Structure 1
Amino acid sequence: MIFGRRELKALNPHKVAVISPGSFVIPSGRSSSVERVIEKVVPLAAGNLDIRVYGRTGEDGPVKAMLGTVPCSRVPGGSAYLPSILRHLRAWRPDSVDVHNRPILASRLKQRMPQAKVYLSLHSTTFVQDKHFPRTWGGAALNQLDGIIVNSHFLQRELKNLFPGLTAKLEVNHLGVSLEDFVPRWTPVGEALRRARLQAYGWSSRKIILYIGRLIPEKGVHHLLQAIPKLRVHEPEVLLLIVGGAFYGSLRETAYVRDLKKMAGTYPGQVEFLPFTPYPQVADWYNLADVVAVPSGEEEAFGLVNVEAMAAGVPVVATRAGGIPEIVEDGLSGLLVNPDRLGDELPASLLKLLGSEHLRREMGLCGLDIVRSRFRWQHTAARWVRLMSPEYSEDRWEDRQVYL
């Protein structure tokens, strides 16, 4: 797919290094949302930029891999990460470096490679909190960078609040979804697959609420379990599917997970815990759902689960928190509930959708249309190409989203 102007196809395309010091190798079938963003965006941008990806080594596997046509180099983590990355970058000499989610690393690379443009792609507030990134010097470190890319206007505002003296240029680039990975509800194929799967699981008579994500307090899974008594009064066949774990790709349980399972034990037959499912196989669970619930806390910067549910044609019930209102349009693609009134509004909104197939269909199809027009990885990649390209002049980095 061609994203930009014809000059982007120059004989010597702009060289961009993408750095991911996260926990998982790239490419990988079992990774966090940070690695997934890279794995989805980079191949789409490769026709316009000369890209190399640098990430961490895993427990096994080669130190070299390919992400489509893009080479990926894997280096040891920990204290060896920065010097290893520097050796690679100094040998290749990229024009731009895009560091994902590690502001300290981005700052150190800029100090050591002042001739390159160094950007930070920030996915959440986790690594700009005081314990990771003290405000006494964090703002100055960010201001050294050539730009900061965030995934929501919420995260943009949070950065400005955390660092009032921030002068680094900020850009919002919403994330996306691969429509080809999903078989939407409300199509003959989608409904046939759904019926067959429900019958195989013995859930044909059930109305299914789906939660997909990490099992940590910030994601609010306990609110869904607390809603069950109110739900089953009106929907006795309701079934809550909880897909995921406390850690990406691990079955290890925390005290919070054990508490969730203890709560679920008081509602026999109405809660099912299912293990982490790698992408894109997770799309099968969306196909079963009547409603997707996203009861996240205030710090949810974007939430890929929202656009994935919409791609599957399933309405969303989510908290009016973080960047979620930028994705889920209240009353159109789903229902938003106030974080301080979850006890009442969450079960009421779920029951409103569970009680009306017409409303579920209407909102599901609306969500699918919104994803097609605004939240595809092609859209994310097109904006990223423009941000990384030399002709995207300095005066266009003006704290606003770049539109296609």
Structure 2
Amino acid sequence: MSLIAPGGAYLPPRPSTSVEIYLYDLWRAMARGVDVSLYAKETVLRSKQRQKQKTRLPGAYGEHFLPVVMRDCVLHDRQLSVRMKHIIQIDNRPKYLQKVKTTLPKAHIVLSLHSLTFLEPQRISFDKALEALTFADHIVVNSEFIKSELHERFAVSTSQISVIHPGVDTKLFHPLHSISEARERERVRRSLHVKGKEMVALFVGRVISRKGVDVAIRALSLARERYGAKVALWIVGSTPKGTDGYIQQLRRLARGLPVSFLGYKSRNELAGLFRASDILLCPSQKAEAFGLVNLEAQASGLPVIASGAWGIKESLVPNVTGILVKDYKNPKSFAKQLSKLASEQAVRESMGQAGRMHAETHCTWRHTAANYVELYERL
């Protein structure tokens, strides 16, 4: 089988997008027992009979990405037994479907959607979106929320859609395991001026209004001033172009508060920041497909306070591994939960332990890969 990334980024360990990281982790988990190739920018990873190989794919970038990938897929297809069906999974690029189906009409084409971004009107017209979806033999989505949206917007039969939740790298994202990690936690907290047993709330995501960063800062202010909570806020994430005005607003809101803007961090750096924090704050204000950062936090042993809507509701166990805030547009609602966890260390620890257990038991990439393989065998 073949996994086709969007093609705009390299695979890890080079700087990647969330989709390439997702596919790389999925490929690694699948490669233990499935013959599978993963195509990304100028690269193909192959696993055959448990032998792994990385090969350069010259010319596979930009407008030439899909044609180059398809030439390689055709060569692979010719090597298959006549009794075997070539399954090709396309991630997040509905516009690739027709080309792939036309090139390999006997292959079984699976569209994997991490969100509905590339079916939105600003990306593709409604009629062209409908047409593109007809070339998918099956569709995989990452949440029941996206499944429902896809069915309602495009009348796709629910029998044609499968929900497979993302996995999380529980080796990279883990609680404190050693004395050296505990020392690093204290070093990071000192460098960011955390006072004593002050609780650190961590925000991870693009620093844009739909992610609710302003709500997070307002909630911090209320938690400290109205409820006397000893809590600081670290904001991790990139600032896209065109957000200068919003960033200035955030810095005004943060004046006089223990707020640190840490910018973009690599996955390894992020894993360390999870271990240096006490909770994850996820105050999204617009639809989220799932919320992978919530899984990463739980794997790291952190409780989560998140907006109680959309696919986020599927990313944690309410009141066990985290708290879902129904009135998510109101900073006061988040402030109440911040102050509660700031004053109840035992609750934080209990939720953190439950989150780690949940991640290890249900959310590893092995679980996700097994669900994909089961689906492919059924198809």
TM tier, smaller:
0.7 to 0.9
| 2:33 alignment counterpart | 48
Change (3 A) 1:117 1:277: same
Q: Distance in 2 between matches of 1:277 and 1:26?
A: 17
Secondary structure of the 2:19 match is helix
The one of 69, 74, 77 equivalent to 1:85 is 69
| 2:83 alignment counterpart | none
1:180 is the counterpart of 2:165 = no
Tell me how far 1:208 sits from its aligned partner. Answer: 0.7
1:203 is the counterpart of 2:191 = no
Alignment of 1:181-330 (within 5 A): 181-184=172-175, 191=182, 193-205=184-196, 206-233=198-225, 234-235=227-228, 237-247=230-240, 254-268=243-257, 270-330=258-318
Letter of the aligned partner of 1:194 in structure 2? R
The one of 326, 349, 374 equivalent to 1:386 is 374
Q: Distance in 1 between matches of 2:346 and 2:288?
A: 30
Q: Does the CA-based 8 Å contact 2:212-2:285 persist in structure 1?
A: yes
Alignment of 1:331-350 (within 5 A): 331-339=319-327, 341-350=329-338
Q: Does the CA-based 8 Å contact 1:123-1:150 persist in structure 2?
A: yes
| 1:5 alignment counterpart | none
| 2:11 alignment counterpart | 26
Q: Does the CA-based 8 Å contact 2:3-2:39 persist in structure 1?
A: yes
Tell me how far 1:344 sits from its aligned partner. Answer: 2.2
Change (3 A) 1:19 1:168: farther
Q: TM-score, normalised by structure 2?
A: 0.88
Change (3 A) 1:283 1:253: farther
Change (3 A) 1:201 1:215: closer
Q: Which structure is richer in relative contact order (CA contacts within 8 A, separation 6 or more)?
A: 1
Tell me how far 1:210 sits from its aligned partner. Answer: 0.3
1:158-184 deviation per Cα after TM superposition (whole angstroms, max 9, x unaligned): 111111254771111111112111341
Letter of the aligned partner of 2:208 in structure 1? I
1:299-356 deviation per Cα after TM superposition (whole angstroms, max 9, x unaligned): 2111111011101111100001211111222211111112554222111111111111
Across the two proteins, how many residue pairs are aligned to each other?
A: 366
What are structure 2's unaligned runs of at least 5 residues? 81-85
| 1:6 alignment counterpart | none
Change (3 A) 1:230 1:354: same
Q: TM-score, normalised by structure 1?
A: 0.83
Letter of the aligned partner of 2:363 in structure 1? F
Change (3 A) 1:185 1:64: closer
What are structure 1's unaligned runs of at least 5 residues? 1-15, 58-62, 395-404
Q: How much identity, in percent, do the aligned residues show?
A: 28
| 1:158 alignment counterpart | 149
Secondary structure of the 1:80 match is helix
Change (3 A) 1:358 1:273: same
